[in-house]
């Protein structure tokens, strides 16, 4: 392992008393003095500020948005061309086997396509995009901007103090707007299941804007620990845990993210890696599916917990891919893959924790209802 990289907000994290950990090559705050539980509850009750500057911000430019979008559709099964200007969408890179190489957000910025990818995958993603799309499309990693997320029911009130225009944004809108006199790229999105924003800020101005937000009554800094429990309650996948190069989007219950126009009977059907496998999964069904899991008892069922159909005997029917304690749910929460026969909400199965099989119910995701501003 080389030296950990620092985000533009590193000094602020230290000043706030964060406990720092290495994550995807970056020195990141896992928690602040408030602690994971209170940070989580604060985000759902008011607003939380997250540093997500370790994620990759990438601009794809060609001769106009449509040209960039058309090229990008060769890598993802999403409708990129049909995304309106100033709008953002969730997507993922697929591989030839129909697995998922990374999940991402992309936005139509009028004259170009803006993509945000996971920190751990960003080098590979940029290499993939460059190899597949250049020279017609230029792939530019934006390394001089911080990325922060402001999430929670009070996020709008807080951010609107820096510019009232953000209050008018709908879920998945993406605009360029001045915050405190600084040109920022703001989307109404996030990864907590709460309403909120993701804000790309020139690195020199990031600390100042974050300080302004943190001074507000509603806002607390939130670390990676609570980010994980928030997204888990929100039923949102963590790349590398819940989805990876071997899981198809259909198995991963991400069918909703493949728009009709890219499906087998759509106007722009296929044309992305692994389309045959994915269309096969769609037509014929899959053997396993990602589901929400609500353990009956108090013991968390963490990633790697083997799942069984019965309290005794039999082979595993699946595995927990993310699990822990849900502070808002007030109990253990998990997600994982089970055989299609068990992938029915309400089915009682068993997870083996420390050699004992404990009951767990297949539950509707998200376990904590989302609170988006549609």
Partner 1 sequence: MKFTEEHEWLRVEGDLVVVGITEHASEQLGDVVFIELPEAGTEVTKDEEVCVIESVKAASDILAPIDGEIVEVNEPLVDEPGKVNDDPMEGAWFFKIKPSDASQMDDYMDENAYKDFIG
d(CA 65, CA 43): 35
Residue placing its CB nearer to partner 1 in the complex, 318 or 323: 323
Among 332, 336, 351, 366, binds partner 1 (CB under 8 A): 332
Stretch that binds partner 1, among 183-191, 203-211, 275-283, 293-301 (CB under 8 A): 293-301
Say whether residue 300 binds partner 1 (CB under 8 A): yes
Residue 91 three-state SS = strand
Residue placing its CB nearer to partner 1 in the complex, 36 or 146: 36
Residues 98 and 248 sit within 8 Å (Cβ to Cβ): yes
Site residues for partner 1, 83-122, by CB under 8 A, read: none
Among 17, 35, 64, 304, binds partner 1 (CB under 8 A): 35
Say whether residue 299 binds partner 1 (CB under 8 A): yes
Q: What is the largest CA-CA distance in the chain?
A: 64
Give percent helix, percent strand, percent coil of the chain, each to the nearest 5.
25, 35, 40
Residue placing its CB nearer to partner 1 in the complex, 37 or 124: 37
Among 221, 324, 351, 366, binds partner 1 (CB under 8 A): 324
Residue placing its CB nearer to partner 1 in the complex, 6 or 302: 302
Say whether residue 29 binds partner 1 (CB under 8 A): no
Say whether residue 37 binds partner 1 (CB under 8 A): yes
Burial call 212-241: b when 16+ CB within 10 Å, e when fewer: ebeebebbbbbbbbbbbbbbbbbbbbbbeb
Say whether residue 31 binds partner 1 (CB under 8 A): yes
Q: H-type helices in the chain, by residue range?
A: 10-15, 36-45, 65-72, 122-133, 155-160, 203-215, 224-233, 275-284
CB of 253 to partner 1, least distance (A): 25
Stretch that binds partner 1, among 2-10, 36-44, 80-88, 244-252 (CB under 8 A): 36-44
Say whether residue 325 binds partner 1 (CB under 8 A): yes
Say whether residue 327 binds partner 1 (CB under 8 A): yes
| Closest to 289 measured CA to CA, from 248, 343, 241 | 343
Q: Identify the residue whose tokens are 């799942």.
A: 307
Among 6, 70, 268, 302, binds partner 1 (CB under 8 A): 302
d(CA 262, CA 250): 14
Site residues for partner 1, 346-365, by CB under 8 A, read: 354
Burial class (CB in 10 A: 0-12, 13-18, 19+), 165: middle
Return the number of other C-beta atoms located less than 10 Å from residue 364's C-beta.
12
Residue placing its CB nearer to partner 1 in the complex, 9 or 36: 36
Which residues, 6+ apart, have CB-to-CB distance to 294 below 8 Å? 329, 331, 332, 333, 334, 360, 361, 363, 367
Task: Give 260-308 as a DSSP string.
Answer: GGGSTTSTT---STTHHHHHHHHHH--SEEEEEEEESSSS---TT-EEE
Among 8, 56, 77, 225, binds partner 1 (CB under 8 A): 225
Stretch that binds partner 1, among 59-67, 183-191, 275-283, 298-306 (CB under 8 A): 298-306
CB of 297 to partner 1, least distance (A): 9
Stretch that binds partner 1, among 56-64, 177-185, 325-333, 342-350 (CB under 8 A): 325-333
CB of 158 to partner 1, least distance (A): 25
Site residues for partner 1 per CB under 8 A: 31, 35-38, 225, 229, 298-300, 302, 324-325, 327, 332, 354
């Amino acid at each position: 392992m080389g030296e950990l990289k620092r985000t533009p907000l590193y000094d602020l994290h230290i000043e706030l008393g964060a406990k720092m950990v290495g994550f995807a090559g970056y020195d990141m705050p896992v928690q602040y003095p408030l602690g994971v539980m209170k940070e989580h509850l604060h985000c759902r009750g008011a607003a939380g500020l997250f540093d997500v500057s370790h994620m990759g911000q990438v601009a794809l430019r060609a001769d106009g948005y449509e040209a960039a979008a058309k090229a990008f559709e060769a890598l993802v099964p999403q409708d990129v061309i049909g995304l309106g200007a100033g709008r953002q969408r969730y997507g993922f890179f697929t591989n030839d086997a129909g697995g998922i190489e990374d999940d991402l957000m992309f936005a139509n910025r009028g004259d170009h396509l803006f993509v945000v990818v996971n920190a751990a995958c960003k080098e590979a993603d940029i290499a993939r995009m460059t190899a597949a799309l250049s020279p017609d499309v230029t792939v530019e990693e934006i390394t001089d901007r911080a990325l922060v997320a402001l999430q929670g029911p009070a996020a709008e009130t807080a951010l609107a103090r820096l510019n009232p225009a953000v209050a008018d944004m709908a879920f998945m809108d993406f605009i360029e707007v001045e915050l405190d006199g600084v040109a920022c790229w703001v989307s109404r999105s996030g990864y907590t299941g709460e309403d909120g924003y993701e804000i790309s800020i020139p690195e020199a101005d990031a600390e100042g804007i974050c300080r302004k937000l943190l001074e507000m009554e509603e806002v607390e800094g939130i670390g990676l620990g609570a980010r994980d429990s928030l997204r888990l309650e929100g039923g949102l996948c963590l790349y590398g845990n819940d989805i990876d190069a071997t899981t198809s989007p259909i198995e991963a219950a991400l069918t909703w993210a493949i728009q009709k126009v890219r499906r087998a009977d759509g106007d722009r059907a296929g044309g992305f890696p692994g389309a045959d496998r994915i269309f096969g999964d769609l037509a014929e069904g899959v053997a396993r599916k990602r589901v929400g899991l609500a353990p009956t008892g108090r013991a968390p069922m963490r990633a790697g917990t083997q799942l069984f159909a019965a309290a005794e005997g039999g082979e595993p029917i699946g595995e927990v891919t993310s699990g822990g304690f849900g502070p808002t749910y007030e109990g253990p929460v998990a997600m994982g893959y089970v055989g299609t026969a068990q992938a029915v909400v309400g089915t009682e199965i068993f997870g083996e924790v420390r050699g004992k099989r404990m009951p767990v119910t297949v539950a509707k995701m998200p376990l904590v209802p989302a609170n988006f501003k549609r």
